[in-house]
Amino acid sequence: NLVCRQIIPIPIVVQQLTALSIKQKIIFYEDKNFQGRSYECTSDCADLGNWMVYEQPHFMGYQYFLHQGEYADYQRWMGFNDCVRSCRIIPQHQGSYKMMIYERPDFGGKMMEFTDDCPSLYDRFHYNDIHSCNVQDGYWIFYEHPNYRGRQYLLRPGE
């Protein structure tokens, strides 16, 4: 059973650089409880967003959605591994949210449109497997289990 949730952005750590620009950052620490060597990842951006971190390089492996807050231990974000190898910013979305899921590959079979969170896709879609989807607006996260639990999968517009 998959679950989908639209991503409603929450600002992360923000520093004022000048009157016209802001800077966002995420800091990774080598050890638990913010100890050891650290790596600061920054990106200038007028649209603040959340982060998706990945256990493997090139945005591969398990992925975890992180919103504003401190994560002193990888288990705080329900990680299976104490290693983060890549991260991606999720920009703030200003419009509506829209996604279609399909029971068959290549957008075939029964289709259902979503414009809001859904704690259990099976309760609304009545199929165990989803073989294709089309994200038209917003960023979405699919969850492996109902009620936003289990592995997470980031879906961006056009995917």
Mean pLDDT of all residues in 97-122: 92
Average pLDDT over residues 105-120: 92
Instruction: Give yes or no: residues 76 and 55 share one domain.
Output: yes
Q: How far apart are CA 27 and CA 14, in angstroms?
A: 12
Closest CA to 74 of 32, 24, 42, 41: 32
* Digit-coded pLDDT (tens) for 7-30: 443 333 333 334 444 556 777 776
Whether 131 is in a domain gets the answer yes
Model confidence at 102: pLDDT above 50? yes
DSSP H helix total and E strand total for the chain: 1, 12
User: What pLDDT was estimated at residue 97?
Assistant: 93
Mean per-residue pLDDT of the chain: 76
Please list the alpha-helical segments (H only) found in 25-148: 121-125
User: Mean per-residue pLDDT for 65-80?
Assistant: 74
Whether 71 and 48 share a structural domain: yes
100 and 83 housed in the same domain: no
pLDDT at 15: 35
Tell me, yes or no, whether 137 and 108 share the same domain. yes
CA-based radius of gyration for the chain:
17
Evaluate whether residue 133 is within a structural domain.
Answer: yes
5 within a domain of the structure (yes/no): no
Domain CATH code at residue 128: 2.60.20.10
- pLDDT, tens digit (0-9, with 9 covering 90-100), for 39-69: 777 763 344 468 888 888 888 888 888 877 7
- Give the HSE-up count for residue 29: Cα atoms under 13 Å, Cβ half-sphere: 11
- Are 138 and 131 spatial neighbours (Cβ–Cβ below 8 Å)? no
Task: Count the Cβ atoms, other than its own, within 10 Å of residue 132.
Answer: 15
Residue 120 and residue 59 in one domain = no
Give residue 159's pLDDT: 67
Residues 39 and 80 in one domain: yes
Q: Is 27 helix (H, G, I), strand (E, B) or coil?
A: strand
Alpha-carbon distance values, 115 to 5, 121, 159 (Å) = 10, 13, 16
- What is the residue whose two structure tokens read 């329900």? 78
Could you list the residue range(s) of the whole structural domain that residue 140 is in? 95-155
Looking at the predicted structure, is the pLDDT value of residue 137 above 60?
Answer: yes
Residues 80 and 32 placed together within one structural domain of the fold: yes
Sheet holding 22-31, edge to edge: 13-16, 22-31, 35-44
What is the pLDDT at residue 49? 60
What pLDDT is recorded for position 16?
35
pLDDT at 48: 45
